[in-house]
Chain A
Amino acid sequence: MFLAKVYVTLKKSVLDPQGVTVKHALDSMGYRLVDDVRLGKYMEIKIVSVDRKEAETLLREMCEKLLINPVIEEFRYDLEQK
């Protein structure tokens, strides 16, 4: 069994309205050292496989086909054997 931890973020070229709003809130709270805020998604996916390569191939395929929209998003992941 593998546990995939997938981090989905908006591409750098895409403006993140939620991140901008959170940044403004932090500014108004006095956190002057905050330069930028970007929001994203975190997913945990359990994959029933004993083969890391197979799990990784499936994971990348699922990300590209469904979990992210490549027009606006990118992803990275950690894959842990359980």
Chain B
Amino acid sequence: MKFGVVVFPGSNCDHDCHYVLNDVMKVKTDYIWHKRGEIKDYDCIVLPGGVSYGDSLRTGAIARFSPVMRALIEYAGRGGLLMGICNGFQILLEAGLLPGAMLRNTSLSFVCRDVWLRVENTKGPFTSSCKKGEILKIPVAHGEGNYYADEKTIKALEDNGRVVFRYCDELGMPSKLANPNGSVNDIAGICNGKGNVMGMMPHPERCSEKVLGSVDGKKLFESAINFLAG
């Protein structure tokens, strides 16, 4: 089983993702430089958070034209597992691998704090070891995480169970205060139709060890590993 973490100029959560996968989860994990034009022999790829290309123009807008993206689109088309975290999610949206777009947080502030997430879908590989309705505590750190899509797209996501995570309070209830960015329907993470491509704004790699205050993030990586192990 082999994982990969893509590195764009300006990625800054790449080492955290690599550390969690390679050292905490003990799965072989490579860094994949964004110039690479071919993705072979990988079981799961992570697009990490950060500020790829300094967020020039729009978040993720330049990164989607990196050579690795063409290879990743093919890889995802073959059913390869692909997970975008924060800026990685923004890149997946710009690349059209997931629908919708990100707007500035309604508060206009960069929000960096723990949030509560309700697991809405446990069919996908990244939440296969979670319970439906399970509440996870995972931190966010972003200025543009206000997920937006037109009504038709939102309806299609909701009707097909493609909302994977929703912001909620500690008890699992949705509330304005619990939503850190103004995302429509409190959406924190979504997946594609097949479920093999998933994007989320919160950072599971930042809470995968006890010493960091929460191990809830680890459940996502465990899910992917268990899913792959069959």
Q: Which residues of A contact B (CB under 8 A)?
A: 10, 13-15, 17-18, 21, 66-67, 69, 71-72
Tell me how many residue pairs across A and B have CB atoms closer than 8 Å: 35
Q: Which residues of B contact A (CB under 8 A)?
A: 57-58, 61, 65, 93-94, 99-101, 103-108, 146, 148-150, 182
- Pick the residue among A10, A17, A71, A72 that contacts B106 (CB under 8 A): A17
Shortest Cβ distance from residue A61 to the other chain B in the assembled complex, whole angstroms: 14
A71 touches B104 (CB 8 A): no
Shortest Cβ distance from residue A40 to the other chain B in the assembled complex, whole angstroms: 13
Sampled A-B contacts (23; CB under 8 Å): A10-B103, A13-B150, A14-B103, A14-B148, A17-B104, A17-B105, A17-B106, A17-B107, A18-B104, A18-B108, A21-B108, A66-B61, A67-B57, A69-B61, A69-B94, A69-B101, A71-B99, A71-B100, A71-B101, A71-B148, A71-B149, A72-B103, A72-B148
3 closest cross-chain pairs (CB), A and B? A71-B101, A72-B101, A17-B106
Most buried by A among B65, B93, B94, B101: B101
CB neighbours of A14 from chain B (8 A): 103, 148
B146 touches A69 (CB 8 A): no
CA distance A17 to B143 in the complex (A): 12
Minimum CB distance partner of B181 in chain A? A17
Shortest Cβ distance from residue A77 to the other chain B in the assembled complex, whole angstroms: 16
Shortest Cβ distance from residue A47 to the other chain B in the assembled complex, whole angstroms: 18
A21-B108, A72-B101 are known contacts. Are A66 and B148 too (CB-CB below 8 A)? no
CA distance A6 to B139 in the complex (A): 38
Minimum CB distance partner of A41 in chain B? B57
Minimum CB distance partner of A67 in chain B? B57
CA distance A13 to B152 in the complex (A): 13
CA distance A1 to B94 in the complex (A): 31
B58 touches A69 (CB 8 A): yes
